[in-house]
Structure 1
Amino acid sequence: MTALPGLVLFAVAMSGTPGPNNVMVTASGATFGLRRTMPHVLGISVGFPVMILMIGLGLGPVLVTNPAVHRGFKWLGIAYMVWLAARIATARRPDAKGANRRSRPLSFLEAALFQWVNPKAWVIAAAAMSTFVSLADNLWVQTGMIVIVFLLVTLPVVSAWAGIGSGIGSVLRSDRQFRAFNLAMATLLVLSIVSLFYER
């Protein structure tokens, strides 16, 4: 409990700083609106704490210490992020003339599973477990506390990013402005993944 204030501040900072999740929900909010982006937001808000729980149960070290699996996740993450960036860059308003009618935001499950190939999610999860878990105390209780804090913090923070995107989308008057914004979001998504891999 003495570490709880620090854990909450850590969760707010990590959930609120720009990264793949926040870039994607901002772009989704601008393209599809806040309501249609909420399954994406909920997928992140639930999927990431579940990932922390699985790491706390011992799955994380198994994946990270196995070089083949680690490389596989790394390159799967790169490929998927590039595909998502291309999808964002070419997105048009759903009501725009000639827009792809099959275009849609990520679903709850897609967003939840995305956490496992999101390098920033791995960095945050590893930092949370190494900083706020003591071997002298009950691992289950500590992991549970981290999971609960991220569940409570991630939803409002990521929702705010989606709301910002929705607000931006409402002031983008022309297709040209909209395409420029989506191209900027796609570029930020690629840069976020590149910078994280260079850090590692």
Structure 2
Amino acid sequence: MSIFASMFAFTFVGAVTPGPVNFIAASTGARGGYKKTVLYILGATISYTLVVVISGVCLGQVSQILPEITWFLKVVGGAFLLYVAYKIAMSKGFDLTHNADGDSLPGFWEGFLVQVLNPKAWFFAMSGVSLFALGRGDATLYFIVFSFASFILCFIGVSVWGVLGGYIGQFLSTPKRQTGFNHTMGTLLSVAVICMLVG
């Protein structure tokens, strides 16, 4: 497998596997459809790409201070994500004939914050830069390719969950099902946050 194929596989797997960003995308897609999830996805994607760029440019410095800032990221990020989980779990049923109001759904800045406050995003970005850019003959070229791949594949990976949520939304025809879905997504997000905090 070529270095670029490995890079793309690594990046896509990281973007599409379950986690807080993707659970929120699925919940948003179920409530408002994919189109109303795009701003959230874009915020998460730009945020992750920024994390990759910062990690690549400042890898030496970031790796030295990461143990100190990990605690901060876990506490602040965990608190923010638990707040989002609570809001999702307590959401009322929604009228599927009138999609959820965009103002009540997570948007660009929620996506941006969820991603930038996630310690795993930083570890994943640093791992990718270390694996696919550092120490190579043309490290700058590989770093640029990895950054672009991170943007494109993060957008695609999170979009998968937004689209999946949109399809799930079609089956949430009663307030009881909607409430159950909201509770489930809020619980999944809470569990993901707790695992992040204790991991």
The TM-score with structure 1 as length reference comes to: 0.86
Q: Aligned equivalents of 2:196 and 2:107: distance in 1?
A: 25
Point out the more displaced range, 139-148 or 171-180: 139-148
User: 1:1-200, aligned counterparts within 5 Å?
Assistant: 2-58=2-58, 61-62=61-62, 65=65, 68-95=68-95, 104-199=104-199
Instruction: Give the total of aligned pairs.
Output: 196
C-alpha distance in structure 1 between counterparts of 2:32 and 2:55, whole Å = 33
Deviation at 1:104, TM superposition (A): 1.6
Q: Check conservation: 2:49, 2:150, Cα contact below 8 A.
A: yes
Q: 1:153 to 1:101 in 2, by over 3 A?
A: closer
After superposition, the Cα gap between the structure-2 partners of 1:102 and 1:42, relative to the gap in structure 1 and judged at 3 Å, is: closer
Q: Contact 2:41–2:155 (CA<8 Å) still a contact in 1? A: yes
Write out per-residue CA displacement over residues 109-140 of structure 1, whole angstroms, 9 at most, x where no aligned residue: 33123211113312321221222223243443
Measure the CA separation in 1 of the matches of 2:185 and 2:134: 39
Which runs of 5 or more structure 1 residues have no equivalent in the other structure?
none
- CA distance change for structure 1 residues 35 and 136 in 2, over 3 Å: closer, same or farther? closer
Compute the displacement of 1:101 (Å): 7.1
Query: Identity rate of aligned residues, in percent?
Result: 26
What SS does the corresponding residue of 1:171 show, helix, strand or coil? Answer: coil
Q: Deviations over 1:81-111 (max 9, x none)?
A: 1001001101124548xxx979622222331
TM-score scaled by structure 2? 0.86
